[in-house]
Amino acid sequence: MGYEGQLAGPLETRQAIARERMGRLIDSARYIERDGLTVPILTAGSSGSFLTTAHIKGITEIQAGGACLMDLFYAEECHLADEGYEYALTVVASVTSRPAPDQVIVDAGFKTMSNRGAVFPRAIGQPGLEVVSLSAEHGTARATGDAQRLRIGDRVEFVPAYSDTTTFLHDHFIGTRGTTVDHIIPLLARGRLT
């Protein structure tokens, strides 16, 4: 088993590092096989490197988990948006308070939609709305332009900064096609971090 989950940056950099590391992994498997043991599964990769690792002869399984949901980390730091991948996971929050014309409070904090360091969730369809902080249960956003028209009860859709830590506290995903609910998917491993 190999894993390159720490790989981020431009595709060329990720490709070079993944190829070098997969070479070592494949060599190790061949040494084990030379001594008479079989290695039926050679698993490697990550969301940041699967575009390369999937094409390396000898690798039989890819560990690309979070990229199927996409988020700001995978899109921007791993450059998967450059490869045409789109956001599949969003969080819908409600405006709960408007304490000032340029401030919006929503009912989704870091337990609902993760930030990643100084990278906060990004509002969809609200270009003047910028999340500036997340408490446990609430998000605070700066509102400019049309976003200042938001009222208590309005809903805002966000792309999480990091999907991995966004999903594990939710009971289910709600799958939509357009504006229609298509699936409700229970998250059976909810809260089962080890």
Residue 78 is predicted with a pLDDT of 78
Residues 110 and 57 in one domain: no
Counting the structural domains of the chain, the total is 2
Residues 119 and 181 in one domain: yes
Residues 55 and 98 in one domain: no
Domain of residue 18: give its range.
Answer: 11-64
Residue 8 is predicted with a pLDDT of 67
Residue 82 is predicted with a pLDDT of 79
**DSSP notation for 9-43:** S-HHHHHHHHHHHHHHHHHHHHHHHHTT------E
Tell me the per-residue pLDDT of 18-59, one tens digit each, with 9 for 90 and over.
Answer: 888 899 999 999 999 999 999 999 999 888 788 788 889 999
Whether residue 51 contacts residue 19, with contact meaning beta carbons closer than 8 Å, is answered with: no
Residues 6+ apart with CB under 8 A from 148: 101, 102, 128
Residue 193 is predicted with a pLDDT of 64
Domain-embedded: residue 81: no
Residues 29 and 113 in one domain: no
The residue ranges of the chain whose pLDDT is under 70 are 5, 7-9, 193-194
Residues 99 and 163 in one domain: yes
Alpha-carbon distance of 130 to 184, in angstroms, equals 29
What is this structure's pTM? 0.82
Residue 128 is predicted with a pLDDT of 96
The upper half-sphere exposure of residue 183, i.e. CA atoms within 13 Å in the direction of its Cβ, equals 7
Domain-embedded: residue 139: yes
Domain-embedded: residue 84: no
Residues 103 and 171 in one domain: yes
Residues 38 and 111 in one domain: no
**SS3 of residue 133 by DSSP:** strand
Residues 102 and 48 in one domain: no
Residue 76 is predicted with a pLDDT of 84
The upper half-sphere exposure of residue 70, i.e. CA atoms within 13 Å in the direction of its Cβ, equals 17
